[in-house]
Amino acid sequence: MTTVTASNLKTSHSDILGRVRYGHERITVTYHGKEIAAVVPMEDARLLEKLEEMLDALDALEAIHEAERDGTISLAELRAHLGR
């Protein structure tokens, strides 16, 4: 992945955005030598969002299966357990 500094991004944003848009490059932005952001094509960002949604759905299914397997407790029972 190509890396640019934040100041380079500021002065060359049109070129960098063109490389992302037309060249489908992924560009890492650094600030004081540390990676702080990435400029990526929208299709990459949308794919990342879809992957996050899929992982959330898998986590929800796992929680449902755990509740079915182990049972659940009421809010009152949870409060009592936590001493509230």
The domains of the chain are located at 2-40, 43-82
Tell me: pLDDT of 51 over 90. yes
User: Which pLDDT belongs to residue 84?
Assistant: 84
Contacts of 12 (CB under 8 A, 6+ apart): 4
pTM value? 0.70
Cβ(63)–Cβ(51) below 8 Å:
no
Average pLDDT for the chain: 96
Higher pLDDT, 10 or 84: 10
What CATH number is given for 2-40 in this structure?
A: 3.40.1620
